[in-house]
Structure 1
């Protein structure tokens, strides 16, 4: 099991001034998807920018109450997390960590904190993950998430307090 990062993880609300960082984070997370796309760098950047805009519009439409936060490591923006909370559940809408900080336990810590919040308030945690994102699926399974239905290319996963709280010890 990976240990929590040695650096302190904190959060702050995302705002309009974060858009350049969020665009860069989005592009970074999609780099492998576009590595073999023919065309100029400018054309690929334009496609990625259009996809960022489409994702932002979709998130606003489907999760109007969602909380958008910037993940901070030692006060510097290193990722984002979006959650949508109801009386019954916390929906982990999106989480992303910059590439050079992945594999350091940051994502594990963020998701674990969300699960702890859910457990203390009697909620479940639900998410959907790209079915071919094996790294993320392994993380969620290790943290006690149970796979559910596959819809399109996405796998639904659910965490319920008490099923595997050992992951947070």
Structure 2
């Protein structure tokens, strides 16, 4: 019997993710995690491998500079499992909201509950601060959207037409 992927249970993690601040020496890993986060999109490009690598290098550099300028005072951390980096998460808080700037996991750790654990931890922090949590997702990233919806995020009107803005509001105690 075939069951739709969205109805499959989330695997149980054998280890809880831990975190450490990103350091300059982590740049090669961050570039790899970035490439993994864009792999489905790049598969549709029709470009040669060298073109994809050049494009990803430039886009990673642009994103890194933009995020550092806009969210440099945020929490940019590596996600670790058993001490090994498996992804990164970047959170930015203001007095009005917690923004999930970015989350990227290596492909082999996607769909295993790591992202769920990371986002739930971020939600606990938002709840403690009594802040809504906001994120933006590409419209074609249906897997991520399902994850966010399962974690209580709802699509909201977005001023940025190429992304879907999603909001989670902490329950009132």
The alpha carbon displacement at 1:43 in A equals: 3.1
Question: Would you say 1:66 and 2:74 are equivalent positions?
Answer: yes
Mapped to 1, the partners of 2:144 and 2:51 lie a distance apart of 29
- Equivalent residue runs for 1:28-39 within 5 Å: 28-35=36-43, 36-39=45-48
TM-score normalized by the length of structure 2? 0.87
- Equivalent residue runs for 1:141-152 within 5 Å: 141-150=149-158, 151-152=160-161
The alpha carbon displacement at 1:34 in A equals: 2.4
Mapped to 2, the partners of 1:31 and 1:140 lie a distance apart of 20
Match of 2:29 in 1: 21
> Size of the alignment, in residue pairs?
163
TM-score normalized by the length of structure 1? 0.89
Mapped to 1, the partners of 2:52 and 2:17 lie a distance apart of 32
Tell me, what secondary structure is at the counterpart of 2:53?
helix
Question: Would you say 1:121 and 2:145 are equivalent positions?
Answer: no
Q: Aligned Cα RMSD in Å?
A: 1.8
Mapped to 2, the partners of 1:162 and 1:3 lie a distance apart of 26
CA contact 2:36–2:105 (8 Å) conserved in 1: no
Per-residue Cα deviation, 1:10-61 (whole angstroms, up to 9, x for no partner): 000001010010111111222232234333x333211110010011111122
The alpha carbon displacement at 1:4 in A equals: 4.5
Q: After TM superposition, where is structure 1 displaced by more than 2 Å over at least 4 residues in a row?
A: 1-4, 31-39, 41-44
Match of 2:60 in 1: 52
Which structure is higher in strand share? Answer: 1
Give 5+ residue unaligned stretches, structure 2.
Answer: 1-8
Give 5+ residue unaligned stretches, structure 1.
Answer: none
The alpha carbon displacement at 1:99 in A equals: 0.3
